[in-house]
Amino acid sequence: MKSVQDSIFDARMEEEFRQADAERRETNMAPEEENPNASEAGEPRQDDEKGRIARELSALADRIAKQAQANREQDERHDNGRRFREYATLVFIILTTVGVFIQACIFGWQLESSDKEAHIRLRAYVFSEAVNAFNVRKNGDILETYTYIKDVGITYAKIDKISVGMIVRAPPEPDTIEGFGARNKEIVGLNLAPNSPYVVINAREKLTDDEFEKIFTVGGVNRIYVFGRITYIDIFGDHHRTDFCHMYFGNQLAPREVGGYLGWQAHACENPKLNYAD
């Protein structure tokens, strides 16, 4: 379709052609008798008319060329403007997409961070606590140790398994809980409430005189080791593990009714690998 500008240009050209044709007709239609010298001047007049028409056509051609050039320049400006708008739109879309992606990453990180904080703050934490060791004496009864299993978090812990062992031996200690040998006490399927300790009692045959003499020393030639592992699930469904190890020895026994050591007299095992919690 022609633009409005092209239609106006065509109308102007048509009008100029009509005017030129009208002038040519008026000149050619003059009466022959009014110009007695027509036969003499006819040839020069004809040449002048041809020159005038040629000049008009040349001027018209120049105007047409200039107008065409102006139209091309305008089209180029329109094309350049369109390309610029397309590039600007593309850049805007890219920047917007990048901005949305960055915001989504930040939001995801904040959500993940908030979720981790909630897990840390609300999950269960199950640990052990040494209580008493009874019948640490010569010619005593069976040796017994008491250990608290406590949830120090603020939500319930579903205990998968608690396994505890006790052994009388000399240091050094092994690198793993398994290195002590079998754990002969097991508790499974326990729901542990926060701050409500569960007592695990471990027992073995009574001490021999030699074992007692070696335990009842300042440095503990022999020591009573209590060791174990707790596996449990928190309210978020995450699985956790706690390994523990403590020991009793020394030449200061508790009062006679205990006949052994109190909880505060217990020592954490010297190998840090034996006490672990996640």
State the pLDDT at residue 256: 66
Distance from chain centroid for Cα 125: 27
Structure token digits, residue 113: 């961070």
Report the pLDDT value the prediction gives residue 10, as an integer from 0 to 100: 64
pLDDT at 111: 64
Q: Which amino acid is at 56?
A: E
Question: What is the end-to-end Cα distance of the chain in Å, rounded?
Answer: 78
Decide: 231 and 239 in contact? Cβ < 8 Å: yes
Question: What parts of the chain have a pLDDT lower than 70?
Answer: 1-14, 16-17, 20-47, 107-112, 256-258
Per-residue model confidence as pLDDT tens digits over 88-112 = 888 888 888 887 888 777 766 666 6
Q: Model-level pTM?
A: 0.62
Q: Which tokens is 37 given?
A: 């010298």
| Annotation: CATH topology of 126-277 | Immunoglobulin-like (2.60.40)
E-strand ranges in 102-238 read 126-134, 143-151, 157-169, 185-192, 198-204, 223-233
Picking from 83, 182, 166, 90, the residue whose alpha carbon sits closest to that of residue 130 is 166
One DSSP character per residue, 181-193 reads ----EEEEEEEE-
Tokens for 101, please give them: 């992606």
Spell out the domain ranges in the chain. 4-29+38-119, 126-277
Type of residue found at 155: T
- Over residues 186-225, the pLDDT tens digits come to 999 899 999 999 999 999 999 999 999 999 999 899 999 9
Do 114 and 121 form a contact (C-beta atoms < 8 A)? no
Contact 135, 206 (CB under 8 A): yes
